[in-house]
Each structure stands twice: as structure tokens, then as C-alpha cells.
């Protein structure tokens, strides 16, 4: 049995809008999203998804529930399979048994503390001429600062005492807001521009702090906490979600300031990883949001190394129809300085002209390490390519890269495939997956699930009004 605590943790880590939108395209309608219901035929949308309540409801057929319930109804999945599928998307491992114990103080307690701190930092920014002057020098307006919720952490060592009277509370340390050592407790962030980091539901789960003057570290991030895992979260993804849908692409840059500076110049589809190399979870998260993913790096040796790590961690997330590109800026430039100097149109033109497709970047970098004028050098290239080709999750793309590699080495694509362990020869078709017929969700089954959670609702059910022929009527009658 899957522990209830884990299910709560899972639902707090996903956004139902993203879960449903990947399967049923949604359109913004006020504060909610709408679509024609996938569970019954209709021409006028009556299927509504609420990002604030994390709930879907169809006013036509009555289907409703959480992200897990949607996967069960839409995909015809049993409960456990739906949880496992959603957990995989969120980068979580489903506990094998009820011995699962959540980390202390997860969930609302910590997110409420983080929201309170974010509000405090925003207010402090309004009163700090020095911090405002720094942001203006970086070309940022108040509108962009407000959109990203930027703030300022005062220089005082215990400034958070102003909003947390119980400054010794263990939740403050668990949230990463304070540090304890032999000298006592003090604020983690001091005299820094604050960048709130949000999860897919818009909750503040961490902070990044940029120092105003000279000093180290230039950027300071929240530590790993029960609600923040830097290998899973992406800065700017929540703020840029709508722009990403409209642009049809995501640009991954290296720092918070790059994301904000690009937004200031009307490029709202940029995001950043959080002080760490791109992970497989990052890649899966980003490629679920778009079909075109651009990684942007400095053009120096360190930038190429970082790009190669991003490539390695993206291979397993690839799917046919997805495009991944690598963009290298001139040495000494970063997206912030480049777009401020040249503007949006020039930057996007540079992207179109200079971005390397993943396949071209992979073969170029492998070829640099080998002497292709000798048979030994060609064999070395093939040896280095083999584990990478085996990781590519997109079968058609993998076959095409093998063919391109064959042209580089003067060998046929099939020969490359056999030497690199291709699962099937190029051109072979996989057996089609059996079609799964979806039926209209059972009202009695939905009511039965509701009664399990809220038995007091039984008094409201009139057996005489239950639909005839519904196979779940006996189950509902026993529960009522």
C-alpha cells in the first residue's frame, strides 16, 4: 500500500495544469483553464482545470478529481500505476511499502514560512535605495522585478526576527532560512538581491541570493530541504509557462540574472538550472513543456564542458519529434550582457543562425577527440560514441545519428548499428501499441471513492437516483 504521506508529497510536487495539458490541450479562461471534455463528446468546452485548487471538473458529465484521478480515468490506469506514472514525471521514487517516513516538517508549514520570507524581502527592497540602484544599473524595471518577486535581504544578521518572533523555531532551519553554528543562529541570506524559486504550483520553495558588491560567493542558494531539491527544480519555469507555450521553445541559461535580463528584453521563455549541471530530471521536465529546447553556454572551454554534460543527461529524455540545440555565445559574453548590448531581435537571430542541433554537436565533439585520418582514431570515435548512442531514447533519431556517424567514418548505418548495439536495424517498425478504449467514467465509482475519503457524505446519496446498469451500484450501496 502506498503511504498517504507520499501521495500528498507527490501532489504537492506536480501541477495538474501541466499534467492534463500534455494530454489534453488547455486554453486559459480567466483564472482557470478549459478544454472539451476528454470523457464525453461535446463541442462547447465544459471541462475546467483549476491551478489554485489543483482540481479538474467537467460540468457536462461530472468527472472530477486530482492529477492522479485524471490519469486513472484518462489512461485507464489502476491507482498504483497512476501514482507510479506521476511519480516518474516528478522524479520521485514510489516507496515499496508502508515503512516510508516523510521528512519532518514538509508541506504547508515550510512553504508558508518561505512565502512569509519572500514577502518580507520584497518589502525590504522597496526601502533600499542601494538595492534598487543596483537593479536599475542592470537595466531592470520595477515591473520585471515585481513579476519575478525580487527582493532584498538586509545586511543585519538576524533581520528575519522582524517577521518570525519565534526565531529559534526548527522550521526556519528546515526551510534553509537560517544557519546554526557554535556562535548561535543567524540569517542565511544577508545583503543580497533575492530571487524566489517557485515550484510548478507557484509556491516559493527556495531562494537564490546575489551579492551587491564584490565578494564570494557571488550567488548563494538555499540548501537542499524537504521541499527543495535543486536537481529537480528550474528557475523561471513557473513565471515563463505561458510564454513558453506561445513561443514553442525554452532557452536554458546559467543564472537567475540571465533569465530576468532576457525577460526585461521581451524574451520570456528563458529558464535556469539552480547552481548545478543539467540533470536528467531537468531535461525530462523541460522536454515535457516544449518540443524545442535550447541550451545556452559561454563559448569558452568551461562552457563546452558544461554543454557536454547537458547533452549526456538529455539523451535519455529525448523523444522523436523533440529538438534540442546548443548555443555558444562569444567568449566573455553572457546572455545578460549580450541581449542588453544587442537587443531581442539580434539575440533571436543569433539563436536561429548559430544554434547547433544535438546530433551535430555530439558528432563534432566526438570527432575533436579522435584522429579520423587513422583507422585507430575512427575506432576510438566509435568506441566513445557507443554508450551515448545506447542512451538515446528516440529510436528514429538514434538511427539517423548512426547513419550520420557512418558517413563520418566511411561505414554504413547498419554496420554502425550492429557495432554500437542498436536494438533493431534502421527502418524496422516497432509493433504498434494496442489501442485502449476509454469509456465514460462511472458516476457510482466516483461517488464510492469520495465516500472512502468522506464517509459523512453517505447521508446525501439517494439510492433511487443512481443510474441503472452502472456496475458499481452494489459497491456504492454497501459503502452508503
The predicted structure's pLDDT at residue 77: 80
Of the two residues 192 and 287, the one the predictor is more confident about is 192
Tally of CA atoms within 13 A in the half-sphere of 95 that contains its CB: 15
d(CA 393, CA 319): 6
Proportion of the chain above pLDDT 90, given as a percent: 46
d(CA 45, CA 49): 11
Q: How does pLDDT run across 377-414, given as a tens digit for each residue?
A: 889 989 999 999 999 989 999 999 998 888 888 887 67
Which residues lie across from 328 on neighbouring strands?
A: 297
Element (DSSP H or E) covering residue 308? helix 301-314
Averaged confidence pLDDT in the chain: 86
- With a CB cutoff of 8 Å and minimum separation 6, the contacts of 360 are none
Residue pair 480/463 in contact (Cβ under 8 Å)? The answer is: yes
Residue 140 has pLDDT above 80, yes or no: yes
Q: How does pLDDT run across 272-316, given as a tens digit for each residue?
A: 998 778 988 899 889 888 899 999 998 888 889 999 999 999 999
| Grid coordinates belonging to 123 | 518589502
The predicted structure's pLDDT at residue 76: 76
What b/e readout covers 72-86, taking b as 16+ CB neighbours within 10 angstroms?
bbbeebeeeebbbbb
| Grid coordinates belonging to 374 | 587513422
| Grid coordinates belonging to 37 | 471534455
Confidence of residue 452 (pLDDT cuts 50, 70, 90): low
> In degrees rounded to 5, what are phi and psi of residue 208?
-120, 135
| Interstrand relation of 292-298 and 250-253 (parallel, antiparallel or unpaired) | parallel
3-state secondary structure 60-124: CCCCEECHHHHHHHHHCCCHHHHHHHHHHHHCCCCCCCCCCCCCCCCCHHHHHHHHHHHHHHHHH
Residue pair 197/233 in contact (Cβ under 8 Å)? The answer is: yes
Amino acid at each position: 500500500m502506498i503511504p498517504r504521506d507520499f501521495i500528498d508529497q507527490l501532489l504537492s510536487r506536480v501541477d495538474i495544469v501541466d499534467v492534463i495539458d500534455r494530454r489534453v490541450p488547455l486554453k486559459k479562461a480567466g483564472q482557470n483553464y478549459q478544454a472539451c471534455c476528454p470523457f464525453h463528446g461535446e463541442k462547447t468546452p465544459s471541462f475546467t482545470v483549476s491551478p489554485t485548487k489543483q482540481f479538474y471538473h467537467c460540468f457536462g458529465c461530472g468527472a472530477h478529481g486530482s492529477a492522479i484521478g485524471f490519469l486513472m480515468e484518462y489512461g485507464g490506469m489502476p491507482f498504483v500505476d497512476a501514482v507510479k506514472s506521476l511519480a516518474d514525471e516528478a522524479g520521485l521514487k514510489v516507496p515499496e511499502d508502508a515503512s516510508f517516513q516523510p521528512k519532518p516538517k514538509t508541506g504547508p508549514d515550510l512553504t508558508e514560512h518561505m512565502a512569509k520570507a519572500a514577502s518580507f524581502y520584497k518589502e525590504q527592497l522597496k526601502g533600499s535605495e542601494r538595492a534598487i540602484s543596483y537593479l536599475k544599473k542592470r537595466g531592470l524595471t520595477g515591473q520585471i522585478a515585481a513579476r519575478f518577486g525580487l527582493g532584498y535581504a538586509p545586511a543585519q544578521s538576524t533581520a528575519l526576527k522582524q517577521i518570525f518572533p519565534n526565531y529559534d523555531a526548527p522550521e526556519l532551519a528546515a526551510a534553509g532560512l537560517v544557519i546554526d553554528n557554535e556562535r548561535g543562529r543567524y540569517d542565511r541570506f544577508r545583503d543580497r538581491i533575492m530571487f524566489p524559486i517557485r515550484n510548478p504550483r507557484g509556491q516559493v520553495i527556495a531562494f537564490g541570493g546575489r551579492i551587491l558588491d564584490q565578494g564570494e560567493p557571488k550567488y548563494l542558494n538555499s540548501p537542499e530541504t524537504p521541499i527543495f531539491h535543486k536537481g529537480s527544480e528550474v528557475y523561471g519555469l513557473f513565471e515563463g509557462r505561458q510564454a513558453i507555450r506561445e513561443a514553442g521553445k525554452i532557452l536554458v541559461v546559467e543564472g537567475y540574472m540571465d533569465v530576468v535580463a532576457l525577460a526585461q528584453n521581451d524574451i520570456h521563455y528563458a529558464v535556469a538550472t539552480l547552481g548545478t549541471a543539467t540533470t536528467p530530471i531537468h531535461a525530462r521536465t523541460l522536454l515535457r513543456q516544449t518540443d524545442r529546447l535550447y541550451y545556452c553556454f559561454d563559448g569558452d572551454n568551461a562552457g563546452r564542458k558544461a554543454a557536454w554534460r547537458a547533452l549526456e543527461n538529455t539523451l535519455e529524455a529525448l523523444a522523436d519529434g523533440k529538438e534540442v540545440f546548443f548555443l555558444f555565445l562569444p567568449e566573455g559574453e553572457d546572455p545578460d550582457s549580450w541581449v542588453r548590448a544587442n537587443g531581442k531581435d539580434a539575440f533571436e537571430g543569433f539563436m536561429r543562425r548559430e544554434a547547433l542541433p544535438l546530433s551535430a554537436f555530439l558528432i563534432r565533439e566526438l570527432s575533436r577527440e579522435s584522429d579520423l585520418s587513422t583507422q585507430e582514431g575512427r575506432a576510438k570515435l566509435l568506441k566513445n560514441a557507443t554508450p551515448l548512442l545506447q542512451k538515446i531514447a528516440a529510436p528514429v533519431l538514434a538511427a539517423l545519428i548512426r547513419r550520420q556517424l557512418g558517413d563520418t567514418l566511411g561505414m554504413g548505418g547498419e554496420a554502425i548499428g550492429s557495432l554500437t548495439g542498436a536494438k533493431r536495424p534502421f527502418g524496422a517498425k516497432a509493433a504498434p501499441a494496442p489501442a485502449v478504449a476509454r469509456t465514460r467514467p462511472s458516476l457510482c465509482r466516483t461517488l464510492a471513492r469520495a465516500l472512502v475519503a468522506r464517509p459523512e457524505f453517505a447521508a446525501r446519496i439517494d439510492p433511487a437516483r443512481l443510474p441503472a446498469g452502472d456496475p458499481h451500484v452494489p459497491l456504492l450501496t454497501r459503502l452508503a
